Amino acid sequence: MSEEFRPIKFIAPEPDQALRAAFLATTYGPVWHRFHLGTELQRRPEDEHVEELGPDWAVGLRSWVIVTAWNPHGQPQEEWANAEAHQRLLARVSRAGLVPTLAQNGDGQWRETALILPGANLRDGIRLGREFAQAAVLYGVGRRVALVWLGADRRKVSRGGVDRRSGDRCRVERYWVQDVNAENGTR
């Protein structure tokens, strides 16, 4: 049985480097447990299986997603427009049967209200991120977290983040949760 070779665009285009730098420099999570994306696993003596343990708010979860509706396409919007988009996101998440936790992405001018979606899968994150025209979402399992770059369209997504019409895939960068306070010796 032979199968015709069909090239597939395996990775989405590179994100804008300034936008990527902003995502890598920011902090994420609820106000009581902020983290940023790191390239190395933080090891603490009290943690036997640190890579399996998620942030405190994610312990016991299979997976989690962080998504926002603020500043679509990475473009600043008026506060009222962001608040309205956030309410639409809350309604959409509620209809999907997910129970969110309030979070914040970033600080200062780029601080955005976001939602942590406990138990959400990668496909949920991609769909919501694309629906609300976001540049990227975070998808986590334990302390592992993926920065998932999205296209700006709203088309349906199949398994693995593939756009069914174009064949485009999401670009995924893999990181570790780096607790902000752990760097200072506290947690």
pLDDT of residue 73: 86
pLDDT value at position 127? 92
Rg of the chain, C-alpha, whole Å: 17
Provide the whole-model pTM: 0.79
Higher pLDDT, 140 or 62: 140
Q: Taking Cα atoms as reference points, which of 180, 179, 176, 184 lies closest to residue 39?
A: 176
pLDDT level of residue 58 (50, 70, 90 thresholds): confident
Q: What is the dihedral of CA 126, 131, 133, 135, to 10 degrees?
A: 0
Q: What pLDDT score does 12 carry? A: 57
pLDDT higher than threshold 70 for residue 108:
yes
Q: Is the pLDDT of residue 54 over 60?
A: yes
10-19, 27-36, 76-85, 151-160: least confident range: 151-160
- CB–CB of 114/67 below 8 Å? yes
What does the alpha-carbon distance between residue 90 and residue 85 come to, in Å, rounded to a whole number? 9
- Establish how many alpha carbons lie within 13 A of residue 129's alpha carbon, considering only the half-sphere containing its beta carbon: 28
CB contact set of 164 (below 8 Å; sequence gap of 6+): 155, 156, 157, 158
Whether the Cβ atoms of residue 90 and residue 100 lie closer than 8 Å to each other: yes
Task: Over range 94-102, report the average pLDDT.
Answer: 93
Distance of CA 106 to the CA centre of its chain: 13
More confident residue, 168 or 39: 39
**pLDDT band at 11; cut points 50, 70, 90:** low
Degrees to nearest 5, angle at CA 99 with 97 and 103: 140
Cβ-based neighbour number of residue 55 at 10 Å: 21
CA 117 and chain centroid, separation? 10
Q: Where are the domains of the chain?
A: 17-181
